Amino acid sequence: MTGRLMMERLALVVALGLVLVVVLLIGNRTGSLQGVRAQIPFADAGCAPSPCAAPQGFEADLSNIQLTSTLLSLDVTLRNRTAGGLEAVSYRHTRPSDFVLSPSDGVDRAPVFNSDCPDWGEVRVERGQSMGPMPLCFEPPRLGLQGAVLLWDPDVGLFSHRVTIPLA
């Protein structure tokens, strides 16, 4: 009887653990864990040339930033400099929708697509590889690039973090 009771308790603990993992995964994908995600530390590896960011070693380098009256365009080059370890996959992935322009006018902007700035969809960058440059475009900020940042929320694991890349 004692062995059976221990097995039932173990099964309950395992079931509760699985439920917690599922809740975290769903919450992470829907963004409802934004407050929790911000509290979990992560490694922002150094990167160059600026402007760039490298959360957990997944680097985005920005270049060719051009602002006109109708469009802000830039090129993104992705580099996977992750070390590996106990990860399920050897790649990192992101998509244009993971980027948001946050200018000083307070109106965040999602990417826009046209013939010069196609939607490149989800890209997977294998460890040790790079991809790009790929175009990324936004409606221009009313107040120019002063104080503007590009927010990037790549998938770098269960507890990924949005990073800020200053544009000016």
Closest C-alpha among 70, 1, 37, 126 to residue 9:
1
According to DSSP, the β-strands at 149-152 and 52-53 are: unpaired
CA distance 162 to 153: 4
Residues of the chain with pLDDT under 70: 1-45, 85-87, 157-160
> Which of 3.30.1360.120, 2.60.40.1240, 3.30.1600.10, 3.20.20.70 would CATH assign to domain 43-166?
2.60.40.1240
Q: What is the pLDDT of residue 40?
A: 36
Q: What is the pLDDT of residue 48?
A: 78
Q: Compute φ and ψ for 159, nearest 5 degrees.
A: -115, 65
> Which residues, including other chains, have CB under 8 Å from residue 47's CB and lie 6 or more apart?
53, 54, 59, 61
Q: What is the pLDDT of residue 90?
A: 83
Q: What is the pLDDT of residue 17?
A: 53
Q: What is the pLDDT of residue 106?
A: 87
Overall pTM > 0.95: no
What share of the chain has pLDDT > 70, as a percent? 68
- Looking up tokens 């070390």 gives 83
